[in-house]
């Protein structure tokens, strides 16, 4: 995942991959 090594958007990626799946 690009999110793993993109520190600038790491926080946003964390939110997306932890919250979004729960909304499905």
Average predicted confidence (pLDDT) for the chain: 65
Helix H or strand E segment including 8: none
- pLDDT tens digit string along 1-24? 455 555 555 666 777 777 777 766
| Confidence at residue 1, expressed as pLDDT on a 0 to 100 scale | 47
Distance CA 7, CA 21 (A): 21
pTM flag (> 0.75): no
């Amino acid at each position: 995942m690009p999110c793993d090594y993109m520190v600038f958007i790491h926080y946003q990626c964390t939110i997306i991959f932890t919250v979004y799946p729960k909304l499905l």
